[in-house]
Amino acid sequence: SLENNLFNGTVPAELGRLELIPKNVYSVACSLPPRLPSISHCIIFTANNLTGGLPLELNNLTRLTELRLSSNNFTGKMPSFENWKQLQKLRISDLTGEGSEFPVLSNMTGMNKLMPRSCNLSGKIPDYIADMTALNT
């Protein structure tokens, strides 16, 4: 467990060898590495002080079932999630800076939690959201 710590720097890319990133990795002024290559199920970095942009390489983690990057200090655009089919829970919040359109989520038929809060999203909410019958939130 890496709970209740005060790390700084960059989250080590070697964490990508894990199948599940620990739920409570507390940090100060950390950023996500651009490559978390083999994480296969879940990334949870909630209520930390993570900074920087969300790595575009997140789009390559097609086997993720859960991504929680809420309550941090990320900047930039929302990455593309169009290659993800197994994602069931997506929570991203407090994304500042350049806005982006609502991410493509149409392939995620099993999505049951969707919380893109305070992310500077613009444009229309896609019609397919109404067809995501597993959504709880």
Confidence band of 109 (pLDDT split at 50, 70, 90): confident
- In angstroms, the CA 85 to CA 17 distance is 21
Q: Is residue 87 pLDDT above 50, yes or no?
A: yes
* pLDDT of res. 30: 47
- In angstroms, the CA 34 to CA 14 distance is 11
* pLDDT of res. 19: 46
Q: Is residue 97 pLDDT above 70, yes or no?
A: yes
The residues near 133 (Cβ < 8 Å, ≥ 6 apart) are none
Backbone φ and ψ of 112, nearest 5°: -120, -15
**25 and 7 Cβ atoms separated by less than 8 Å:** yes
- Go through the domains of the chain in sequence order and give each one's CATH number: 7-131 (3.80.10.10)
Name residue, tokens 């909410």.
125
Name residue, tokens 């490559």.
35
Q: Is residue 4 pLDDT above 70, yes or no?
A: no
**Interval 40-66: pLDDT, tens:** 567 777 776 777 888 777 777 788 888
Tell me which of 67 and 22 has the higher pLDDT.
Answer: 67
* pLDDT of res. 112: 93
Q: Is residue 5 pLDDT above 60, yes or no?
A: no
